[in-house]
Amino acid sequence: MNFISKFSLLAAIGLAFVTSQLSQASEANLVAKAAKLAPYQQRDFQDEVFYFVLPDRFYNADTSNDLGAAANDKKRAVSRGGFDKSHKGMYHGGDLAGLTEKLSYLDNMGVSAIWLTPVLRNRAMQAGTSGYHGYWILDFTEIDPHLGSNAELKNFIDQAHQRNIKVFFDIITNHTADVIKTEECHGKDGLGWIVDLSEGNDCPFISMAQLANGKHYSPLIPKGDETLKYPAWLNDMDVYHNQGDSFWRGESAVRGDFSGLDDLYTQKASVVNGMIDIYKDIIAEFKPDGFRIDTVKHVNIEFWQQFSPALMQHAKTQGIKNFSMFGEVYSFEPELLSRFTTEAKIPSVLDFAFQGAMIKVLVEQQGTDVLAQLFAKDHFYQTEHKYIRNTNANQLVNFTGNHDMGRFAYSLKQSPHNYPEDAQIQRNLLAHAMMFFSRGVPVIYYGDEQGFVGDGGDQASRQDMMPSFVASYNDDNLLATSKSTADDNFDTNHLFYQSFAKYAQLYQQYPALRFGEQAVVYSQDKAGIFAITRQMKATSKSKAQNLLIVFNTAVNKQQLNVLIDKVEGTLLYRSVNTDKTDEIAPLSFAIYQLN
Ligand SMILES: [Ca+2]
Ligand SMILES: [Ca+2]
Ligand SMILES: [Ca+2]
Ligand SMILES: [Ca+2]
């Protein structure tokens, strides 16, 4: 964006900017504590600061459940075991009681909503690793015994609500645990592999065209596993695609098994209705505040068109007025992501495109134009739905890294720029500030607030907050601390914990940071300034507010007079002080209230 266009934009909204007249609000001028949050029942989705956590990796408050189901529990025998604290792919003992015990740690950081990885009962072991992550569900009616009981989940939600914190469940409709095998790939007993695995560990996908020509698999359930799933209709092999493993492209992305996980036939009305009933029951029993939906891209859009409105309506009948849902659509293209908030009628999605832009701008040092180009597509998300609230980009869910792709700190560590630790710290903080203060709802990935780094994605990014016994975690150099993951890492004095608490405070204090319409006022083709305004009209709850947020992604200070020559406003906060008010320090941000 060039100088003229952003100048005219600001001129058009009636701003006069005199940099020398910027008044600087001291820290003391900010309220000492975060603005008092409205009661959770009344809060909007956009009011939340999310914390995304794998309960197994958080805190172990009950060692009696570490092995999962009791040894004499015949019904749940497959949900016993898989416990090995030194193996990154096994259960580590964290549980719902542990999360409950650590609620004050989250509360004090300004977390207002917790998103848990799936907590329903899993098959404990599949192909040499365990269901510690929760994505291998067998029983959609009860909590995995490694994590606790249904009663303990209710207690956790009660305790969170008493602290005015919402709880979101991570739900799956695409697949169940891997129980179904095929004669062609696994032999008549279904217990091994009989195909050539030299090309990878999979059962080749059979396309619709091949099916039409009579080619098909002969699915089977190994002896003894016929009634493992709950509700019972899930044990019927006809409710699955049975077309072999997905190779992640074309029709296989929707109809193939996710590495053997039994892929539900989500085009069948019985499956749509069955899944709607399962999650209606979950809402009725536990009264969560919302759902994060897994593997959305791997289910046909028609499924979501029925599922999403049905659950949103049901939650309302259960008295959860502001129930919300956001989907995981693993794509970096707003064109595709937005199909799920518009056509598929899911209220929101995780903004992978925002995450990708963070990598480009703060790891790869591309120009801040990358962000302007991203936000220029925000209108794709705009829609009006009959049963769910209208959607727009303000409801997207921002994140910097996650449990599949790895942490933002890992992207920095392995960058060819060879950032020293100081630079990694500054870039990590700035990425999180952009996550909080750009349009969209922020999600802190657990452990990021303690400087966790990791060696990559998936298992390598799922470190323990409690003292870890995993050697490949414990040899990491954590950022901004002398601790390692072998230590307890609930340090409320950690720089990142303190900084995120500050960001959360600002986010809650200024409604325009949550609801303000965003306009990009300055970007450039190299690292440097990126500036946005967040403007909101007066509402019954708050006055009109117009904020200017300036980020500096460069390693040298920048002059604000490149932004505009005249601004009259008040500096509300800046992350790094400079001698002059018309400068912005390297890798820092500042928030101004415009008059
Ligand atoms: Ca435990
Ligand atoms: Ca599927
Ligand atoms: Ca399978
Ligand atoms: Ca390591």
**Per-residue pLDDT tens over the stretch 154-186:** 999 999 999 999 999 999 999 999 999 999 999
CA of 125 to the centre of ligand 3 (A): 13
Which sign does the torsion angle of CA 424, 430, 435, 436 carry?
A: positive
pLDDT at 189 over 60: yes
Region 14-35 average pLDDT: 40
Region 261-267 average pLDDT: 98
Sequence-distant (≥ 6) Cβ neighbours of residue 453 within 8 angstroms:
407, 409, 410, 413, 476, 477, 478, 479
Name the helix (H) or strand (E) containing 7.
helix 3-12
User: What three-state secondary structure class fits 233?
Assistant: helix
CA of 49 to the centre of ligand 1 (A): 27
CA of 327 to the centre of ligand 3 (A): 24
Q: What is the pLDDT of residue 582?
A: 87
Report the DSSP pairing between strands 166-171 and 290-293: parallel
CA of 91 to the centre of ligand 3 (A): 22
pLDDT at 439 over 70: yes
pLDDT digits (tens, 9 = 90+) for 216-239: 999 999 999 999 999 999 999 999
Q: What is the pLDDT of residue 339?
A: 95
Residues having C-beta closer than 5 Å to ion ligand 3: 178, 180, 260, 262
CA of 327 to the centre of ligand 2 (A): 14
Region 462-487 average pLDDT: 98
User: What three-state secondary structure class fits 128?
Assistant: coil
CA of 465 to the centre of ligand 1 (A): 14
**For residue 90, what are its two tokens?**
């096994």
Average pLDDT, the chain: 92
Domain boundaries, the chain: 3-30+510-594, 179-265
Ligand nearest to the CA of 265: 2
Sequence-distant (≥ 6) Cβ neighbours of residue 304 within 8 angstroms:
296, 327, 340, 344, 345, 346
Cα 127-252-247 angle, rounded to 5 deg: 55
Where does the pLDDT of residue 7 fall: very low under 50, low under 70, confident under 90, or very high at 90 and above? very low
User: What three-state secondary structure class fits 512?
Assistant: helix
Calculate helix-pair angle for 301-317, 334-341, nearest 10 degrees. 50
Ligand nearest to the CA of 463: 4
CA of 52 to the centre of ligand 1 (A): 19
Q: What is the pLDDT of residue 35?
A: 59
Beta carbons of 538 and 567 less than 8 angstroms apart: no
The CA distance from 470 to 449, in Å, is: 20
pLDDT at 382 over 90: no
CA of 556 to the centre of ligand 4 (A): 32
CA of 443 to the centre of ligand 4 (A): 24
For residue 20, count other CB atoms closer than 10 A to its CB.
8
Sequence-distant (≥ 6) Cβ neighbours of residue 259 within 8 angstroms:
178, 201, 202, 245, 246
Q: Which of 323, 293, 304, 229 is nearest to 266 (CA)?
A: 304
* Residue 359 DSSP one-character state: I
CATH homologous superfamily for 3-30+510-594? Golgi alpha-mannosidase II (2.60.40.1180)
Beta carbons of 95 and 156 less than 8 angstroms apart: no
Sheet holding 588-594, edge to edge: 23-24, 569-574, 588-594, 545-552, 529-536, 517-522
pLDDT digits (tens, 9 = 90+) for 397-434: 999 999 999 999 999 999 999 999 999 999 999 999 99
Place of tokens 């990590």: 428
CA of 260 to the centre of ligand 2 (A): 11
Active site residues: 294, 328
Beta carbons of 256 and 243 less than 8 angstroms apart: yes
Q: What is the pLDDT of residue 564?
A: 63
Ligand nearest to the CA of 65: 1
**For residue 272, what are its two tokens?**
């749509």
Q: What is the pLDDT of residue 197?
A: 73
pLDDT at 31 over 50: no
CA of 348 to the centre of ligand 4 (A): 34
Ligand nearest to the CA of 294: 2
For residue 37, count other CB atoms closer than 10 A to its CB.
17
Single-letter amino acid, residue 367: G
User: What three-state secondary structure class fits 104?
Assistant: helix
Beta carbons of 486 and 431 less than 8 angstroms apart: no
Ligand nearest to the CA of 486: 4
* Residue 83 DSSP one-character state: B
Residues having C-beta closer than 5 Å to ion ligand 1: 60, 62, 65-66, 93, 95
CA of 351 to the centre of ligand 3 (A): 30
CA of 54 to the centre of ligand 1 (A): 13
pLDDT at 1 over 80: no
Name the helix (H) or strand (E) containing 280.
helix 269-286
Q: What is the pLDDT of residue 386?
A: 59
CA of 58 to the centre of ligand 3 (A): 30
Residues having C-beta closer than 5 Å to ion ligand 2: 174, 263, 298
* φ, ψ dihedrals at 499, nearest 5°: -70, -45
pLDDT at 212 over 50: yes
Where does the pLDDT of residue 15 fall: very low under 50, low under 70, confident under 90, or very high at 90 and above? very low
Ligand nearest to the CA of 255: 2
The CA distance from 192 to 172, in Å, is: 27
pLDDT at 565 over 60: no
Ligand nearest to the CA of 220: 3
CA of 259 to the centre of ligand 2 (A): 11
CA of 50 to the centre of ligand 3 (A): 33
Ligand nearest to the CA of 178: 3
Ligand nearest to the CA of 414: 4
Q: What is the pLDDT of residue 200?
A: 67
Q: What is the pLDDT of residue 2?
A: 33
What is the value of pTM for the model shown? Answer: 0.94
pLDDT digits (tens, 9 = 90+) for 118-134: 999 999 999 899 999 99
